[in-house]
Each structure stands twice: as C-alpha cells, then as structure tokens.
Amino acid sequence: MADDQFPGWHGTTIIGVKKGGEVVIAGDGQVSLGQTVIKGTARKVRRLSPGGFDVVAGFAGSTADAFTLLERLEAKLEATPGQLARASVELAKDWRTDKYLQKLEAMLIVTDGTELLVITGAGDVLEPEHNVAAIGSGGNFALAAARGMIDSDRDAETVAREAMAIAADICVYTNGRLTVESIAAGANDTDTTAET
C-alpha cells in the first residue's frame, strides 16, 4: 500500500560499531504505527548460531520481512559456515532477483566479530567506512554521533550506547530502550549480551 493509504511501521535505529577487537550492534525498542507508539520494548538485535558460528544481526523495517531475511541468512550461513561475506552476498543476490523477496522492506546489519556488513534489498552488501554502520529512522543521527566518537578513548559498546542516546533525543521514532549484543573479533564462541 502507498504511504498515503497506510502510515506504515516506523521506529527503528540500529547501529554497528567495530573497535578494539570487538563489534557491537545496538538497537532501540520502539515500534510506531503512524504517530502512535505501539511497542517500546521490541528486540531488533539477535544472535544467530548457524553451523556453530555466532553472528549478530540487527534489522530495520517490517518485522515480518526482517525475520524472513534472517531465516534466509541463517540458511545461507549453514550452507557456508563461517563465511559471513559469502552468505551475505548470496542473500543479497536472492533478495534482488526473487520476486517474493523483492517485496520485503527491511535492512540488516550483520557481524561475525570480524566483518561488519550492511545488507539491503537493492542487492548491496556494504562494508562501512570508519567501522560504523547505522540504519533505520534515526540511523543518520546515530551514525554521525558514533563517527564523532570513534577516535576517542571510548570502547565500542560505549560509542554505540552514547550514539543511540543521541539518536533517541533527536528522532521521534527512536527510544532509549536498548538491546545490545557484542562479539569479539576472532572469538566466535564469545557470548557477551547486555540488555537495558
């Protein structure tokens, strides 16, 4: 449906920060329908373990569409264990060429602790510059804030949390109820989860 017929779901900011041998993905919890907050505690950052290799993924966009993409990504990772870039490219190819998948409205940030990638429905698999990626309604605010802090003495999680706080202060579709998942570079069995 067109935006003028149905206001659509909004309310996501996801950020990925890679620094000091660690990658952190943080996401807020707000889901809005038009001008109404439907839920403030949604969990838009997930840890997947296909083939015994941990991957952290954050999504922006339609929740059902995002879960469909996460399931497809898991299947690709099971077929190519430990090869996140290859699985992401295969997912992006399918997303771009499959008539069913083309209708999905979501974006993903994924990491295995070594690579940090943004996957889009346009067939893009992007490795961000400056080791920071952000998507969603407040993504540009969080990205700008994190880029301003990335060279400071703050660790990856602190940069992500502070950038999300700034985005939540500016973007009406973003709140401060964060889900934060981190994964250490090269340590695929690391499990350091923090929720606030």
**Amino acid identity at 31:** V
Give me the residues paired with residue 31 across strands. Answer: 39
Contacting residues for 37 by C-beta, under 8 A, at least 6 apart: 11, 30, 31, 175
Residue listed under structure tokens 């699985």: 87
- Residue 68 annotated in active site: no
The answer to whether residues 52 and 81 touch, using CB atoms and an 8 Å cutoff, is yes
Enumerate the active-site residues: 12
